[in-house]
Amino acid sequence: SQQGEEDPQALSIQEGENATMNCSYKTSINNLQWYRQNSGRGLVHLILIRSNEREKHSGRLRVTLDTSKKSSSLLITASRAADTASYFCATDQAGTALIFGKGTTLSVSS
Amino acid sequence: EPEVTQTPSHQVTQMGQEVILRCVPISNHLYFYWYRQILGQKVEFLVSFYNNEISEKSEIFDDQFSVERPDGSNFTLKIRSTKLEDSAMYFCASQGQAGSSYEQYFGPGTRLTVT
């Protein structure tokens, strides 16, 4: 079954640095979405990239998608302490059930 | 900005009891979902709901679970006889129009603790 798997599992950086998280999946997809989750809280939608798109930007976020490699990356530029959270990719084939990865835990220290 | 809301934020129940988790999706959305996240694990899909019926469900969503949209705003998940392993965070999500926007927006979750 299709599955998003993020790496690294954990990432620690200093404020101002860029953070890059990667996601791989197994089968063809329609869309890939990235979510953020602060500890014990809900999932916040960050960005959606469609299978026919290669790159998308939203503020300090940049997402790329390589369907030939079945992978995506999320780049957070100029990170802030408030970016500390877990980040998940989620894929879908037909705009229905999302399949989530295990997530990357990002820690940004000031 | 419209958001998905869920109540209660935390529910403690004894094994074997029935629980109902409630969600109010974003008002003009058409597709509704329940997911769960066991502590420290990944978010898992339970069920999707469209046009007043289940459109997709996972293996987790067995006969102990049911969903309902009793009125134009609420979307509920019922667990008939809770088990210890049902302890998890339950998230409701909603999605707008298929074909134009597939973003799923999640509520803050209900933490269910079964003792």
- Test the A interface: residue of B21, B102, B113 with most A CBs within 10 Å: B102
Q: What is the pLDDT along chain A (110 residues), one digit of tens a residue?
A: 446 678 899 999 999 999 999 999 988 888 899 999 998 788 999 999 999 999 999 999 999 999 999 999 999 999 999 999 999 999 987 657 899 988 999 999 98
Give 10-residue mean pLDDT values along chain B (115 residues): 91 98 92 94 93 93 95 92 97 79 89 98
Closest CA to A45 of B6, B33, B36, B95: B95
Q: Does B109 touch chain A (CB under 8 A)?
A: yes
Cα distances (Å, whole numbers) of residue A53 to A28, A67, B82, B105: 14, 9, 43, 21
Contact criterion met (CB below 8 Å) for B109 and B91: yes
The beta-carbon neighbor of B91 closest among A43, A99, A102 is A43
The whole-angstrom distance between A6's CA and the closest CA on chain B is: 11
Residue B84: partners with Cβ closer than 8 Å, 6 or more residues away: B15, B114, B115
